[in-house]
Amino acid sequence: MALFSFLFQKSGLPGSSLLLQEVQNNSRKNLRFVLSIDEINPGLTILLKLQPVFELVNKMRFKISDPDLLLTHHIRSFPRIRLGNDFRTLEYTDNSGTLVRQSPSEVPLNTLIPFKNIQKIETRKAGTAPEKWLNNFLLERDSVAHPDQVVGILRETKGCYLFPGIPFNSILSLKIDKTKIEHVIRLDECSIKNPPFKRFIENMEQEHRLWLSADKERAKRASVHIHCSGKYPIINTLMQKLLKEIGYNNFKLISEIKNEELKQKNPDIYLKLNNFPANKIRQKHIDWSKDLNQILEPLNHFIFLSDLKMENISAALPIHKIEFEEFRDNLLKEIKDAETKNQQAQSDQMLHTQERNILKKITPFSRKLLEVLSASRTWESAVELASKIKQPRAILFCENENVAAELNLSLTEVPRKLWINPFKFQHAEDLTQLNSKMTHSYIKPGIIIISASARTHLENLCRKALLESKQAETVLHEQKLHIKKIKANLELLQNKKNKSAFRWLHVSLKQLLYRDRHLFQIPQGKTE
């Protein structure tokens, strides 16, 4: 049933047209507006600043901005007076305040030009003032109308005509932008004899009759039980929602039909969405099993219906099958690309993790080796003092094996000696070979004997290991963030997939319900 909202016009417009439109859009009811005024001026004339479109009882429509076009009295009679062929052009100020010069055919259709806005009228003979032209024009036609009766010129399909004004009682409705005011009534003329008020009352009575009829139909539908044989929970839930929207609140999901139910005859409706013996049912049944298979076909290899959940979509936009399939294929490609990127990123992360772990493991050893190298014995001093060096062990770092062998023989007071060529370690992770149980007892201050080149090489390698360890941590952190973004994008794509699949089901089932509305005895407007 329509809900009429009264706009009481006293001294100004009760809110902008945008506000009225917002109120109408947000209303759950079929909200309509009625404008009630005390007087035409200023009650109605103030609206003309918004240049509303007036609709008259004779179905004529035009935009009005001049209050002189509105009349408080009824027009008993006014002949149809078309401007003659000698009428060439007129200069007038349009609704936007612009001075224009147009011929009768150039004036836009349904344009109502206030006579006082006309600056000049040009005929075949000459240009003249509007008032003088009007007097002469009517005299030539035996004064069929008085000049004071003419308030404007109206452009119609066949040409331009003299216009006598708009009586208040002839106003059917007015529209401001997208907001329509259904009725305009005067508070001092709320009588059934008053045409605008009578139209309003008749409209209310008609709406009430429609509401009673619809209410009776709703009560009838509410008493009917609908038994559904759906296989998929999402479809059952969606069907229950759609049927509830049209008044069928008694929804029951069934997996089988008992023998006693087959024999009963009642107003219940059996909605067949999968296989059950509908031919044995005496009650009314609607077979949608084949239709449902066609609806589900585009969802094959796209989504598992068991994983699909209800979405909060109040009004799903229609979508054609070809459009959905194209969207589906593009989305699947996006998801596949994202999954490939995720797999590659996971593999990269595994490699980065392994590298980080290796470098992290040798970081303490690299620091210790740098510290020990700073307290090592130079090769030259060891050669010079070889016979005097007395210690339990020594590790020799140099590239040349023969040179190392000579020093080894000279260290007669050192029982345990170990030679290592440091240049075989070229990468930071190679230090793991040096970080062994065998070398731990040798990597101590005063135990190392090392050449200058070997020391420089090992120090650079240790510093490189420490730097690469920090870089590996940074790279691994960035890789984790990269994977997080990929997973977030994948989640968005999955949500997009779920929403699109649900939209397809929602729209398709709603269209199916609309197609078979006669079987459910649904009014047309309920499923559109």
SS3 string, 93-133, reads: ECCCCCEEEECCCCCCCCCEEEHHHEEEEEECCCEECHHHH
Among the candidates 118, 142, 164, a domain finishes at 164
Q: Do 137 and 169 fall into the same domain?
A: no
What is the C-alpha to C-alpha distance for residues 388 and 377, in angstroms, rounded to an integer?
13
Q: Which structure tokens are listed for 442?
A: 């040798």
Interval 429-437 mean pLDDT: 87
Q: Are residues 465 and 419 in the same domain?
A: yes
For residues 459 and 522, membership in a common domain is answered with yes
Confidence (pLDDT) at 524 = 45
Residues 485 and 355 in one domain: yes
What's the pTM value of the predicted model, to 2 decimals? 0.55
One domain for residues 486 and 413? yes
Q: Which regions of 421-497 does DSSP assign to beta strands (E)? A: 448-450
State the total domains in the chain. Answer: 4
Q: 467 to each of 234, 458, 473, how far by Cα in Å?
A: 56, 14, 10
What value does the mean pLDDT take over residues 291-301?
A: 90
What pLDDT, on a 0 to 100 scale, did the predictor assign at position 24? 53
Looking at the fold, whether 272 and 408 belong to one and the same domain comes out as: no
Domain identity same for 136 and 45: no
Mean pLDDT (the chain, rounded): 82
Say whether both 331 and 416 belong to one domain: yes
Domain identity same for 449 and 361: yes
Put the strands of the sheet holding 87-93 in their side by side order.
99-102, 87-93, 118-123, 127-128
Across 328-405, the runs of DSSP E, i.e. the strands, are 377-378, 393-397
Token pair 């605008």 in the structure block, residue: 196
Tokens standing for residue 393: 């062990």
Q: Quick one: 375 and 460 in the same domain?
A: yes
Half-sphere exposure of 291 (CA within 13 A, CB side): 17
Helices (H), 14-94: 17-26, 40-43
d(CA 122, CA 106): 14
pLDDT in tens, 348-365: 999 999 999 999 999 999
Query: What whole-number distance in Å separates Cα of residue 520 and Cα of residue 182?
Result: 33
Higher pLDDT among residues 126 and 400, named by residue: 400
Q: Structural domain of residue 408, as residue ranges?
A: 319-528
Q: What is the pLDDT of residues 137-193, one digit of tens each?
A: 888 888 788 888 999 999 998 888 999 988 888 888 888 888 888 888 887 778 888
Task: Name 362's Cβ contacts closer than 8 Å, sequence gap at least 6.
Answer: 428, 429, 431, 432, 435, 465, 469
Phi-psi region of 384 (alpha: psi -120 to 50; beta: other; left: phi over 0): alpha
Q: What is the pLDDT of residue 161?
A: 92
Three-state SS at 8: strand
- Within 194-342, strands assigned E span 225-228, 250-253, 269-272, 284-287
Domain stops at, among 119, 141, 164 = 164
Q: What are 257-281's pLDDT values in tens digits?
A: 555 555 555 667 778 887 665 555 5
**Same domain for 521 and 406:** yes
Provide mean pLDDT across the span 403-411: 90
CATH number of the structural domain spanning residue 240: 3.40.50
Q: Quick one: 323 and 445 in the same domain?
A: yes
Domain's final residue, options 313, 347, 377: 313
The pLDDT of residue 527: 45
